[in-house]
Structure 1
Amino acid sequence: MQLKKVISSVLLGSVLFSCGNPKKGMEDVQPPNIIYIMSDDHAYQAISAYDSTLIHTPNIDRIANEGMRFDQAYVTNSICSPSRAVTLTGKMSHLNSVKDNLDIFDTTQVTLPMYLKKAGYETAIIGKWHLKSTPQGFDHWEVLPDQGDYYQPDFRTPKGMIQEEGYVTDIITDKAIDYLEKKKGKDEPFMLMVHHKAPHREWMAAMEHLNAFHDEKIKEPTTLFDTYEGRGTAAKEAEMRISNHMGLTNDNKISPDVRDKTNHSPFMGWYDWAYNKNIDRMTDEEKEKWEEVYGPINKNFQKINPKGKNLTRWKYQRYMQDYLGTLLSVDDNIGRLLDYLDETGLSENTIVVYTSDQGFYLGEHGWFDKRFMYEQSFRTPLMIRWPEHIQAGAVNKELVQNIDYAPTFLEAAGVDIPEEMQGESLLPLFEDKTDKWRDALYYHYYEYPGIHGVKRHYGIKTKRYKLIHFYYDVDEWELYDLDQDPNEMNNVYNSPKYASVKMSLHKKLDQLREEYLDSDALTQQMLKADLERLRKLEEKK
């Protein structure tokens, strides 16, 4: 990969215009439409194209079966807002203005939709935005405010806020199909970003799926009761354990009137508020259906009164039943959208992407949530369908990352990839050309101090090894041999056996940090600014 240089704001305008024309020799080729579907917190473990242990997702699987499944797709920063900013810019968090969920996206940047618009595309985004600022570069946008709601969701639009009746995943798909219907008869290609809220916490399923998994015994991960021995303090101190950080009310759907009143978690007030907020958005009919399912669960919880490991096991089952139930609607609606494309003939010249903004823990290491560079959080599902360009049923095992999405779409559209984008187009991988592909990925997570208490860290991943540096209030290194230790339980950083591997990875890490324009000096500068921001927030409380 060539060293990418940041283009100054003075030059961005001229770059935009120079990149707006199709590449030479492609003038007579009809540019493909692009439909980019991104869910929120969808773990690759919960897609049957990757692993059929937990759930069957036939419609999402169609994209993999009719296109390419990527088995080593990763993010640059495993948290919602930063991943969205990376997709729009093709740049790492330290250069795109959003490194955590508190940052506001700088809309003066030239983004993917702006480049495509200049090249003759119509652009649209529907669903979750979660970047605080107003969407720019889109001809059409209807986005959820902040995290959005599952029932009777509000949408921000250019004309103001509107509320829709129904379930959010259905409504986002309705709006996407309606947009495509209105595109009929128009010649210009389009890029449509369909961003689902689901299956984000608190995992509220559609009414027809409320009880889908409640009679099933979900298989526990082998690391559910991980004690984090042999690793540093970061894993031990993270606040996302199912056992004592998952809320009985908002997460496990136990009424505040039923939960153990002796539980004095500092999060309890927020848990109860979130539970009541979600219930209050339901219609009377939905509340009746909800009570039919969760009333007996509440009564059974009172009866068995689980404690200790039994409580953790009970919470895990409740978590997974709701998480998987919420995914059923995502899969149903992907099917609706794919069927529409087939019925209208749009499938033939449309790139369809399915991914998530990052991975998610489904009980591995005893956790829910994401953030860490450990595999289940760092890795994301990715599958791409493009008839006549990608062989059906193809599987790719190269190291790809979400900084690659914007360059891929631009090259497919016949637009030159701007130098400021740090990713690489995936088009060579569509043709199985891997001889010059990257051999390592870079990652950097910033949101600490913050919710879930995951310490700041950066690191490097190759196909076999992972080197991580935790910093700020610690200075700890971890090294994992993924071939020998796929569950990342044994930190071998200080093992003499891995001395040469460690030296090689440190050298590669330094190289990637320089290549991506990251450094200790920049890290300290950002840390200082973040701490000042936190100080001001505390003063306002």
Structure 2
Amino acid sequence: MTRPKFALILVCCLSYVWGVSQSEKRPNVIFIMSDDHAYQAISAYTDKLIETPNIDRIAEEGMLFTNACVTNSICAPSRAVILTGKHSHINGKIDNRFPFDTTNVTFPQLFKDAGYQTAMFGKLHFGNNPKGVDDFMILPGQGNYINPDFITKEGDTTITGYATDIITDLTLTWLEEKRNKEQPFMLMYLHKAPHRPWWPRPDKFKEFSQKTFPEPETLFDDYENRGTAAKTAEMNLLRHMKYSHDSKIRPVTLEEMGEVLPDVPSFEWGWEGPYDSRVNDAQKALYEPVLDSINEWFRANWPGMTEREKIKWKYQRYMQDYLGCISSVDDNVGRLLDYLKQNGLDENTLIIYTSDQGFYLGEHGWYDKRFIYDESFKTPLLVKWPGVITPGSVSAKMVQNLDFAPTLLEACQIAIPKDMQGESLLPLFSGNPQEFKRDAVYYHYYEYPAVHSVKRHYGIVTEDYKLAHFYYDVDEWELYDRNTDKNELVNQYQNPDYEEVVQELKQKLEALRKQYGDSDELNQHYIDLYRQAGIDKK
């Protein structure tokens, strides 16, 4: 054999071996999720309310999704969709009440079976023994911000400190001390914050209580051009946000002001948060001065304020605490990103930052979520994957939390189960959006009758339009033009100019329901479950 031929064969063999070794070097995965983190409170989307430089780094070095959304805007069902890659009516977790069916196969199980180390730290929300997870420390249920309890394989434990910091400490300790550094990992880093009742860390509580934030355009929405659902929802800042639980007015203050507070309902006479005997003396000393100032101002000013002024005050108190919680999340995401970079883990790690759904930050006069309307329906999604995603990319494609499981599985060369209903986002990551075929998403909310009184509804959303059907104790349709009506203030369903749009969307909606296996019969099945459980007395 001549030298040139031998050299050519050698180069080909080495190239093949190098290619195989590269394909076998599967990426690590870090899935970061905060609870109720509105996209409006991430400066990669808008810096109107807060700067989040660390979370923004993920978008700057990766991709920002501007039309990411959920299938069912409520905490536990959203998490079940993420874990299973299946809609709520398929995985069975339709609401926060009924238990998660643990016969469902979750994507951590598939990662573990494929040779990945798996770990979970923070808030799962349901269950106390996550399947497919080698190591975990999770909050029981909602968990606490201050000195939180954790469920572990060895039993329950309490850790002194602030939950957001502690969850990050646990995550970094696992990365540094517990993982097998020769093996790829899938790590779930799950924050409790900024879930209600929004207790910031003491230094953030002090800092943010002095800030004033711009009001949303729709803070004083009167729902004039909307249906029954918007008019009857119970999430108004003034009427439904609690004085003690949410605005941090002490029960003793309310008792002293009883004669001048006729609008305070009976359920206000209680105190929840770090003052439910969780704080120690040192922590209490840090919180008390700020609480003193809030309560003194309330006592002096509240009785003489107009209703409009009261709404404005409650909005500011809400934003001060909510955004103070976000600031700690951003600081801690920065700690994680810095660790990855300093330890050479950033180049072969796929990082997702998201939330379990969106959240109202005073838009339409509301807090909470549940609706198909944008602030609730849309969720933040920022993804970084060096070598695959072009830094600074933006996608407006209609993607859902339904897609997370199949995306991560395909990225790590793990077979996607045929019964998963999501679509892999890899074509979008690699700059081939034409290969991502979806042009509409399906949404279905079930938890009614329930807190906040958001009526059952399902619908279809495209980049241009949103069509929703509210059902059960009403039969109403709503159509919004997402291009001309960004705040979703005018229901165009009865507008003759949109008749063709309505008919086309109804056909697409029925096709989606059939595709995903949803139906009126299933609706009735879940209504019957409520009646059997005594939740619905009808």
Q: Does structure 1 residue 534 correspond to structure 2 residue 531?
A: no
Indicate the residue corresponding to 1:285 in structure 2. 282
1:348 is paired with a residue whose SS is coil
Change in Cα spacing, 1:142 to 1:267, as seen in structure 2 (3 Å) is farther
Percent identity at matched positions? 53
Indicate the residue corresponding to 1:4 in structure 2. none
Given candidates 91, 103, 106, the residue that maps to 1:108 is 103
Indicate the residue corresponding to 1:155 in structure 2. 150
Q: Does structure 1 residue 297 correspond to structure 2 residue 294?
A: yes
Q: Deviations over 1:370-397 (max 9, x none)?
A: 0000000000000011111111111111
Change in Cα spacing, 1:183 to 1:347, as seen in structure 2 (3 Å) is farther
Q: CA RMSD in A?
A: 1.7
Given candidates 53, 62, 68, the residue that maps to 1:73 is 68
1:428 is paired with a residue whose SS is helix
Q: Deviations over 1:256-283 (max 9, x none)?
A: 11124255779643x4444366452111
Report the more deviating stretch, 449-458 or 433-442: 433-442
Change in Cα spacing, 1:267 to 1:460, as seen in structure 2 (3 Å) is farther
Given candidates 244, 249, 252, the residue that maps to 1:257 is 252
The question of whether the paired residues in 1 share the 8 Å contact of 2:168 and 2:332 is answered with yes
**Bigger Rg, which one:** 2
Indicate the residue corresponding to 2:9 in structure 1. none
Which letter does structure 1 place at the counterpart of 2:363?
A: E
TM-score (norm 2): 0.93
Q: Deviations over 1:212-251 (max 9, x none)?
A: 2222221111111111112111001100000110011110
- Structure 1 segment 116-515 matched on structure 2, within 5 A: 116-132=111-127, 134-183=129-178, 186-259=181-254, 260-261=257-258, 268-269=266-267, 271-275=268-272, 278-305=275-302, 306-436=305-435, 437-515=437-515
The question of whether the paired residues in 1 share the 8 Å contact of 2:128 and 2:151 is answered with no
Report the more deviating stretch, 51-60 or 300-309: 300-309
Which letter does structure 1 place at the counterpart of 2:184?
A: P
**Cα distance in 1 for residues equivalent to 2:262 and 2:124:** 34
Which letter does structure 1 place at the counterpart of 2:296?
A: K
Report the more deviating stretch, 381-390 or 289-298: 289-298
Change in Cα spacing, 1:506 to 1:367, as seen in structure 2 (3 Å) is same
**Cα distance in 2 for residues equivalent to 1:304 and 1:276:** 24
Q: Deviations over 1:478-512 (max 9, x none)?
A: 00001111100000001100000000000000000
The question of whether the paired residues in 2 share the 8 Å contact of 1:250 and 1:272 is answered with no
The question of whether the paired residues in 2 share the 8 Å contact of 1:151 and 1:278 is answered with no
Q: Does structure 1 residue 94 correspond to structure 2 residue 64?
A: no
**Cα distance in 1 for residues equivalent to 2:467 and 2:44:** 29
Report the CA distance between 1:182 and its aligned residue. 2.3
The question of whether the paired residues in 1 share the 8 Å contact of 2:36 and 2:195 is answered with yes
Given candidates 63, 66, 90, the residue that maps to 2:58 is 63
Which letter does structure 1 place at the counterpart of 2:430?
A: E
**Cα distance in 1 for residues equivalent to 2:167 and 2:222:** 41
Q: Does structure 1 residue 523 correspond to structure 2 residue 535?
A: no
Q: Does structure 1 residue 50 correspond to structure 2 residue 49?
A: no
Indicate the residue corresponding to 2:12 in structure 1. none
Which letter does structure 2 place at the counterpart of 1:429?
A: L
**Cα distance in 2 for residues equivalent to 1:472 and 1:439:** 28
1:452 is paired with a residue whose SS is coil
**Cα distance in 2 for residues equivalent to 1:456 and 1:222:** 27
**Cα distance in 2 for residues equivalent to 1:198 and 1:371:** 18
The question of whether the paired residues in 2 share the 8 Å contact of 1:88 and 1:111 is answered with yes
TM-score (norm 1): 0.92
Report the CA distance between 1:134 and its aligned residue. 2.7
1:218 is paired with a residue whose SS is coil
Which letter does structure 2 place at the counterpart of 1:460?
A: I
Change in Cα spacing, 1:281 to 1:63, as seen in structure 2 (3 Å) is same
Change in Cα spacing, 1:152 to 1:388, as seen in structure 2 (3 Å) is same
Change in Cα spacing, 1:378 to 1:46, as seen in structure 2 (3 Å) is same
Report the more deviating stretch, 165-174 or 281-290: 281-290
Report the CA distance between 1:135 and its aligned residue. 1.2
**Cα distance in 2 for residues equivalent to 1:384 and 1:122:** 21
Change in Cα spacing, 1:244 to 1:535, as seen in structure 2 (3 Å) is closer
**Cα distance in 2 for residues equivalent to 1:520 and 1:401:** 23
**Cα distance in 2 for residues equivalent to 1:320 and 1:294:** 16
**Cα distance in 2 for residues equivalent to 1:240 and 1:31:** 45
Change in Cα spacing, 1:72 to 1:28, as seen in structure 2 (3 Å) is closer
**Cα distance in 2 for residues equivalent to 1:194 and 1:272:** 35
Report the more deviating stretch, 134-143 or 421-430: 134-143
Unpaired segments of 5 or more residues in structure 2? Answer: 1-18
Change in Cα spacing, 1:345 to 1:504, as seen in structure 2 (3 Å) is same
The question of whether the paired residues in 1 share the 8 Å contact of 2:250 and 2:271 is answered with no
Report the CA distance between 1:49 and its aligned residue. 0.5
Change in Cα spacing, 1:184 to 1:157, as seen in structure 2 (3 Å) is closer
Q: Deviations over 1:130-160 (max 9, x none)?
A: 1135311111111100100000000011111
Change in Cα spacing, 1:265 to 1:197, as seen in structure 2 (3 Å) is farther
The question of whether the paired residues in 2 share the 8 Å contact of 1:104 and 1:133 is answered with no
